[in-house]
Amino acid sequence: MTNPTTSLPLYERITRKNTIARAIELSILSLLLSLLAYRILSFQDHGFSWLLASLCESWFAFIWVLTVSTKWNQVEYKTYPQRVLQLKPELPPVDTFVTTADPVLEPPILTVNTVLSLLALDYPADKLACYVSDDGGSPLTFYSLVEASKFAKLWVLFCKKYSIQVRAPFRYFSGESMSSQDTSPQFQQDWKNMKDEYEQLSQKIEDAAKGSIPCELAGEFADFMNIQRRNHASIVKVIWENKEAGNANGGVPHLVYISREKRPKHPHHFKAGAMNVLTRVSGVMTNAPFMLNVDCDMYVNNPQIVLHALCLLLGVKSDKDCAFVQFPQHFYDGLKDDPFGNQLVVLFEYVGRGLAGIQGPFYGGTGCFHRRKVIYGLSPYEYDEEISGKLSDQNLRKTFGSSMEFTKSAAQILSGSKSSSSNPHDLLSSVEAANQVATCVYEYDTAWGREVRATFLASTSIFIHKLLNLTGA
């Protein structure tokens, strides 16, 4: 789809000029081939060691050819986020997922920063939702998110008012944010207030980690009482619901806390299991056609990532041309000049771009926008076909399980109907359905884990490079 108002493309695919690199690689190839030819021609004059050496060199040459061909045709995607913005009010809703598993190894202040950077994205707040999956079942994580949602009301306003680039407060306040920005007295005052507020938030979380959780939330905490981390019922809590549908600049996006059911006898499949639950819970609540997932120790360092991703997801000729859009990771606080290669530059910068030139990179597990219907098992070959057979009640139940709300939402996504976005419902009314799809036996005798959430391997993907990074530790 191109932008209907201007008919300008939402993105351009640019082939990188790498003539010199190719020339060098071709000369290495000719050297390799001459070495092999020399080995073969002078076989008789040498013994076993010659044979062994030529076998090793042939293997090396083979691997080398594979590697070079991966990097041969590197492409970049140039995206035009402002053109996507002109699609208002038809911008699609987007669900974002954060996974956390342990409040000690992954301190909640990290998760809070990840969540704040998502809530403050440059995208209509009424179309964004953030779901946090807590495999630790921790009241501390829940408490931190409740406090963060209060802080978010100020933070989101501040970020949008001053077009702040880094929207994870711990990074923002640790840099030279003050000097590089607006120096008006108003900004300085707001900046100081925000810094104080953030310090108070961190302090509250720290105090709660040391002692007990303040009792004003006692009611909400009942679900966490006497539970064991690996043995408890599902907990789904709507921490904040955005009720400003239609008001594009209004407020803070939805924030939902989920701790899926865990029982000692049932395997929970770690992050993959959490992602499945996030997909289903968001399905019964907001059912956005696109979903972004990040780990709790990452933050979004470009507030326009949704727009950049949509340039590709909406800009391709047919939906089947792009199943997911993935962003490379960028690691903060690394050593100068990266002497140990920790930034994985070769992987992201060359192999990733090269794979993008062939078809698309593999899903790396994080920093990725998925098209929901692909996750639901719609293969690229089915896009233009009649899929009503797939949508029969019996088939839906077999594939997606017994929740009526969920199978209905899945049918909506598979048939491409947009009613999910135009007809938002009260999140609280779906908490019961959400609890049902977050149980540990929900997937039994369904296609989850086999057909559902596996098909992305068969679809194409697009890797945007350098443009936007998700930062992880």
Specify the stretch interacting with ligand UPG by CB under 6 A; choose among 6-14, 82-90, 99-107, 373-381: 99-107
Write down the residue that tokens 């960028």 correspond to. 330
Length of the chain in terms of residues written: 473
Q: Give the interface size with ligand UPG as a residue count (CB under 6 A).
A: 13
Q: Which of 148, 274, 284, 437 binds ligand UPG (CB under 6 A)?
A: 274
Kindly provide the b/e burial profile for residues 411-429, where b requires at least 16 CB atoms within 10 angstroms of the residue's own CB.
Answer: bbbbeeeeebbeebeebee
Binders in 23-52 for ligand UPG, by CB under 6 A: none
Q: Which residues are annotated as a binding site?
A: 106, 135, 271, 295
User: Cα separations (Å) of 396 from 388, 406, 451?
Assistant: 11, 9, 13
Q: Are strands 75-79 and 11-15 parallel, antiparallel or unpaired?
A: antiparallel
Among 54, 96, 99, 326, the residue binding ligand UPG under the rule CB under 6 A is 99
Site for ligand UPG in 131-160 (CB under 6 A): 133, 135
The distance of Cα 139 from the centroid of its chain, to the nearest Å, equals 25
Minimal distance in Å, beta carbon 228 to ligand UPG?
15
Closest CB 136 distance from ligand UPG, rounded Å: 8
Which residue lies nearer to ligand UPG by CB, 316 or 464? 464
CB of 230 or CB of 450, closer to ligand UPG: 230
- Which residues are annotated as part of the binding site for UDP-alpha-D-glucose? 106, 135
Q: Residue 295 Cβ, how far from ligand UPG at the closest point, in Å?
A: 3
- Provide the token pair at 472: 């992880």
Q: Does 296 bind ligand UPG (CB under 6 A)?
A: yes
Q: Which residues are annotated as a binding site for Mn(2+)?
A: 271, 295
Per-residue DSSP letters for 341-376? -TT-HIIIIIIHHHHHHHT-PPP-SSSEEEEHHHHT
Per CB under 6 A, the segment of 95-103, 245-253, 349-357, 373-381 that binds ligand UPG is 95-103
By beta-carbon proximity to ligand UPG, the closer residue of 261 and 295 is 295
Q: Which of 25, 295, 405, 443 binds ligand UPG (CB under 6 A)?
A: 295
Give the burial class of 150: count Cβ atoms within 10 A of its Cβ; 0-12 exposed, 13-18 middle, 19 or more buried. middle
Start-to-end CA span in the chain (Å): 36
Q: In the numeric block, which tokens belong to residue 149? A: 């949602």
Q: What are the strands of the beta sheet with 298-300, ordered from one edge?
A: 298-300, 470-472, 329-331
Least distance (Å) between residue 337 CB and ligand UPG: 24
Residues in Cβ contact with 413 at an 8 Å cutoff, skipping those fewer than 6 apart: 283, 287, 289, 372, 373, 376, 420
Binding mask 275-294 for ligand UPG (x = CB under 6 A): --------------------
| Binding map of ligand UPG across residues 353-372, x = CB under 6 A, - = no contact | ------------xx------
Who contacts 398 (Cβ-Cβ below 8 Å, separation ≥6)? 445, 446, 447
- Assess contact for 275 and 453: CB atoms under 8 A: yes
Query: ∠121-125-129 over CA atoms, to 5°?
Result: 85
Binds ligand UPG by CB under 6 A, chosen from 38, 43, 62, 270: 270
Exposure class string for 312-331: b at 16+ Cβ within 10 A, else e = bbbbbeebbbbbbbbbbbbe
Q: Tell me the two tokens of residue 75.
A: 């492409």
Q: Which is nearer to ligand UPG, 10 or 437 (CB)?
A: 437
Q: CB nearer to ligand UPG: give 269 or 397.
A: 269
**Rounded Cα–Cα distance for residues 233 and 432 (Å):** 13
CB neighbours of residue 216 within 10 Å: 9
Stretch that binds ligand UPG, among 97-105, 139-147, 166-174, 352-360 (CB under 6 A): 97-105
Q: How far is the CB of 266 from ligand UPG (least distance, A)?
A: 13
* 214 lies in the site for ligand UPG, by CB under 6 A: no
Q: Closest CB to ligand UPG belongs to which residue?
A: 365
Q: Answer yes or no whether residue 126 interacts with ligand UPG by CB under 6 A.
A: no
Instruction: Annotate each residue in 184-203 with x if it binds ligand UPG (CB under 6 A) or - if it does not, as one string.
Output: --------------------
Are 25 and 94 in contact by the 8 Å Cβ rule? The answer is: no
Contact region for ligand UPG (CB under 6 A) — 98-106, 119-127, 142-150, 430-438? 98-106
Taking the least distance from each CB to ligand UPG, the nearer of 96 and 100 is 100
Q: How far is the CB of 213 from ligand UPG (least distance, A)?
A: 21
Q: Which is nearer to ligand UPG, 99 or 117 (CB)?
A: 99
Q: Candidates 4-12, 94-102, 382-390, 417-425 — which segment interacts with ligand UPG by CB under 6 A? A: 94-102
| Listed residue (15, 113, 78) closest to 470, CA to CA | 113
Using the contact rule CB under 6 A, the part of the chain among 36-44, 190-198, 217-225, 270-278 near ligand UPG is 270-278
271 binds ligand UPG (CB under 6 A): yes
Going by C-alpha positions, the residue among 141, 137, 111 that lies closest to residue 296 is 111
Provide the binding-site residues for ligand UPG, judged by CB under 6 A: 99-101, 106, 133, 135, 270-271, 274, 295-296, 365-366
